[in-house]
């Protein structure tokens, strides 16, 4: 990972942490201000038109849940709850349910595992989290966890949004800002995911670098929204 980039991230992270300690309510206010930015990214990832108010409402509920879950234990129910909130108002039959059919992700030219493998793969993913967390830098760990969810693609739709929210949940739990991925970089993001999922010689560095840059941009935005000296 880029050491200079990580130093810059830690610089802004320390600024934010200092302000959080001085102003107990700052987290709540900041999360409210950051919400439109993160929802905009989710809309771009899932190609959700701004006119689909019911989908936007689902995104808003999932974001609120993400923020509320920062201090709680993570598990399989975390992913299911995120997906359930996303689609409770638009697709109740599949909201919070693993897919029952096979899937091909055209945006990344990827075919994920068969549907019957999903429960085992997700359970294994969460069982390995504590061990994996100790092996990597927190941002790298969050990036790899994000990729792993997309490798499994547990849902019929909404996988990119769920994985993105989960990425940010992990970052927030470790005291970082959100990964602010602007819509114009989504093409670069999909190419990075595609490279990381190649059956031969997969390459993860591009995705990790993009997410690391996105964290820095998110922290810069957070600092700009606060009266920091």
Q: What's the residue count for the chain? A: 229
Q: Could you give the 3-state DSSP secondary structure of residue 219?
A: helix
Burial 101-123 (b: 16+ CB within 10 A, else e): eebebeebebebeebeebeebbe
Q: Could you give the 3-state DSSP secondary structure of residue 174?
A: coil
Summarised one tens digit per residue, pLDDT across range 101-158 is 999 898 888 999 999 999 999 999 999 998 999 999 999 999 999 999 999 999 999 9
pLDDT exceeds cutoff 60 at 48? yes
- Determine what percent of the chain is predicted with pLDDT higher than 90: 73
Task: Tell me the average pLDDT across 38-44.
Answer: 92
Summarised one tens digit per residue, pLDDT across range 62-73 is 999 999 999 899
pLDDT exceeds cutoff 90 at 169? yes
d(CA 60, CA 32): 10
Q: What is the pLDDT of residue 157?
A: 92
pTM of the model: 0.94
Domain ranges of the chain: 3-163+172-224
pLDDT exceeds cutoff 80 at 1? no
Q: What is the pLDDT of residue 154?
A: 97
Q: How confident is the model at residue 17 (pLDDT cuts 50, 70, 90)?
A: confident
Q: How confident is the model at residue 23 (pLDDT cuts 50, 70, 90)?
A: confident
Task: Tell me the average pLDDT across 75-87.
Answer: 96
Separation of CA 18 from chain center? 25
pLDDT exceeds cutoff 80 at 229? no
| DSSP secondary structure string for all residues of 38-63 | HHHHHHHHHT--TT-HHHHHHHHHHH
Mean pLDDT of the chain: 92
C-alpha Rg value of the chain to the nearest Å:
17
- Determine what percent of the chain is predicted with pLDDT higher than 70: 98
Tell the CATH topology of 3-163+172-224. Fic-like fold (1.10.3290)
φ/ψ (deg, to 5) at 94: -110, -5
Query: 110: which strand partners?
Result: 105
């Amino acid at each position: 990972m880029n050491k200079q980039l990580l130093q810059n991230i830690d610089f802004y992270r320390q600024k934010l942490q200092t302000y959080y300690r001085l102003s107990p309510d700052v987290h709540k206010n900041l999360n409210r201000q950051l919400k439109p930015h993160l929802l905009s990214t989710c809309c771009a990832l899932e190609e959700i038109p701004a006119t689909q108010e019911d989908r936007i409402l689902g995104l808003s509920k999932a974001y609120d849940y993400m923020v509320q879950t920062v201090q709680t234990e993570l598990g399989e129910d975390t992913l299911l709850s995120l997906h359930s909130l996303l689609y409770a108002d638009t697709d109740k039959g599949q909201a919070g349910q693993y897919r029952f059919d096979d899937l091909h992700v055209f945006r990344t030219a990827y075919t994920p595992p068969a549907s019957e493998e999903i429960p085992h793969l997700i359970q294994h993913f969460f069982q390995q989290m504590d061990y994996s967390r100790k092996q990597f830098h927190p941002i790298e760990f969050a990036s790899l966890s994000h990729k792993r969810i997309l490798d499994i693609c547990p849902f019929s739709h909404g996988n990119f949004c769920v994985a993105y929210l989960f990425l940010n949940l992990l970052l927030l739990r470790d005291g970082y800002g959100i990964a602010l991925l602007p819509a114009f970089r989504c093409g670069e993001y999909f190419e990075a995911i595609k490279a990381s999922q190649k059956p031969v010689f997969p390459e993860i560095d591009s995705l990790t670098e993009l997410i690391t840059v996105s964290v820095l941009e998110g922290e810069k935005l957070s600092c700009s929204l606060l009266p920091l000296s």
